């Protein structure tokens, strides 16, 4: 159970879209299987400075959660239901079906509190959610057991049509992984995966904001180092093209330094993480600018 919760936590932490596969419709047993959503709040925190024993609510985690697609495989039910007042049955959308399944149950019934806790956790953790029913691909049992060799033409038209709509939906909804307003790059995602896995394997609780802060700081330092290397290369190249005259010409040195600084800034902006005013990016940029000024001053004095 703990291992499943850890794997689920990693998937939620790292993905921008979470597709949850399930056979059949959404019933109480299906909701019970997602009870690990409530367990997940015990294994993840938003900030590392939260006190010992403090719990992060699902609503807090929801700010960092991926969009959620509940994929119902081999769906056999009619999407129809009566209204709240018990009026005549009418057709409903998959989204309405999902929201009705997540409605609170009568608190007087057996286990109502636990059932409602699961529903509340799902709604809070996945504020952006969608349901997608997909019918059984074939009716023939033998063909169902050998789907890998069944030609596409033998699949039910309702299935192939639904599969096409599913693919369109996933591509439309898929987006880069973000934390706050920051887009997570490939190297940053790898670093986050290492940080989360190390925390979970070590019995600690991953802290999203703190992990992202550490990753952003490391990536911004790498970007600053690359920018300084680009500055040195551009500055020395300018000196070579100036036939040495800039050594005795402050204006020439200033122009070469300004051009090299601009080249360094392009390299830094391409590699640094975070918004322009974010702490890690601002701090790395300030340190880089100070070092560029120091290097230019040292060159002029020499």
- By residue count, the chain amounts to 302
Give, as one character, the DSSP assignment of residue 276.
T
Is 136's pLDDT higher than 90? yes
Dihedral class, residue 110 (left if φ above 0, else alpha if ψ from -120 to 50, else beta): beta
Measured in degrees and rounded to the nearest 5, phi and psi for residue 239 equal -65, -40
Residue 56: the pLDDT is 65
Give pLDDT, residue 75.
Answer: 92
Contacts of 280-286 with CB under 8 Å at 24 or more apart are 280/213, 280/216, 280/217, 280/219, 280/220, 281/216, 281/220, 283/217, 283/220, 284/217, 284/220, 284/221, 284/223, 284/224, 285/220, 285/224
pLDDT, position 54? 56
234 vs 256: CA distance, rounded Å: 8
118 confidence band (pLDDT: 50, 70, 90): confident
User: Between residues 61 and 232, which one has the greater pLDDT?
Assistant: 232
| Comparison of pLDDT for 8 and 48, the residue scoring more | 8
Mean pLDDT on 208-237: 85
Rounded mean pLDDT of 181-207? Answer: 85
Residue 235 confidence (pLDDT): 82
Residue 200 — pLDDT band, cuts 50, 70, 90?
A: confident
The predicted pLDDT at position 49 comes to: 59
CB-based contacts of 50, cutoff 8 Å, min separation 6: 56, 207
Q: Is the pLDDT of residue 299 over 70?
A: yes
pLDDT of residue 246: 46
Task: Give exposure, 237-263, as e/b (b: 16+ Cβ within 10 Å).
Answer: ebbeeeeeebeeeeebbeebbeebbeb
What is the average pLDDT score of the chain?
Answer: 83
Structure tokens given for 145? 């057991």
Q: What is the pLDDT of residues 257-295, one digit of tens each?
A: 888 889 999 999 888 887 676 778 888 888 998 998 888
Phi, then psi, of 67 in degrees rounded to 5? -70, 150
What is the band of 37 on the pLDDT scale with cuts at 50, 70, 90? confident
């Amino acid at each position: 159970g703990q291992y499943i919760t850890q794997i689920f936590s990693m998937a939620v932490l790292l993905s921008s879209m979470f597709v949850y596969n399930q056979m059949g419709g959404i019933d109480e047993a299906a909701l019970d299987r997602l009870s690990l959503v409530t367990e997940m709040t015990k294994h993840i925190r938003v900030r590392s400075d939260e006190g010992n024993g403090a719990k992060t609510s699902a609503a807090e985690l929801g700010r960092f959660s991926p969009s959620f697609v509940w994929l119902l495989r081999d769906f056999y039910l009619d999407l129809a239901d009566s209204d709240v007042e018990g009026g005549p049955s009418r057709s409903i959308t998959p989204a309405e079906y999902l929201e009705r399944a997540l409605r609170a149950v009568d608190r007087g019934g057996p286990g109502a509190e636990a059932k409602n806790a699961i529903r509340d956790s799902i709604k809070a953790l996945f504020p952006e959610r969608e349901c997608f029913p997909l019918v059984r691909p074939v009716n023939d049992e033998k063909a169902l057991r050998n789907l890998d060799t069944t030609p596409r033409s033998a699949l039910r038209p309702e299935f192939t049509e639904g599969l096409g709509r599913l693919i369109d939906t996933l591509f439309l909804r898929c987006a880069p992984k973000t934390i706050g307003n920051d887009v997570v790059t490939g190297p940053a995602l790898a670093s986050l995966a290492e940080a989360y896995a190390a925390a979970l394997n070590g019995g600690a609780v991953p802290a999203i904001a703190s992990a992202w802060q550490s990753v952003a700081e490391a990536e911004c330092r790498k970007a600053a180092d690359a920018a300084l290397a680009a500055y040195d290369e551009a500055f020395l190249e300018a000196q070579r093209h100036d036939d040495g005259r800039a050594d005795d010409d402050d204006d020439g040195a200033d122009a070469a330094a300004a051009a090299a600084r601009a080249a360094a800034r392009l390299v830094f902006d391409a590699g640094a993480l975070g918004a322009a005013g974010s702490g890690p990016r601002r701090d790395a940029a300030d340190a880089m600018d100070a070092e560029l000024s120091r290097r230019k001053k040292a060159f002029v004095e020499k």
